[in-house]
Amino acid sequence: MKLLVNGENKEFSEGISLDELIRQLGVRKETVVAEVNRQIVQNDQRPGWKLAEGDQVELIQFVGGG
């Protein structure tokens, strides 16, 4: 199925969860905030949050520095 992830069209398997998408992209789930269709998804909801064809996903990572 096609999803728009951070502005890029990407293909994923049907029924993928938001948590699995984050894992497949190699993003550390502890340092990311996820938004689906302009709605922030709480960390504890991500494993059960099933994505659908055409969903728009934004992943915002926190980066430390100094």
Q: What is the pLDDT of residues 30-52, one digit of tens each?
A: 889 999 999 999 999 999 999 99
- Residue 52's Cα: distance from chain center in Å? 12
CB 21 within 8 A of CB 6: no
Residue with tokens 């938004």, as numbered in its chain: 35
pTM for the model stands at: 0.89
d(CA 1, CA 41): 20
d(CA 56, CA 66): 32
Classify domain 2-61 at the CATH superfamily level: Beta-grasp domain (3.10.20.30)
Identify the pLDDT of residue 66. 59
Closest CA to 63 of 33, 18, 25: 33
Say which amino acid occupies 45: Q
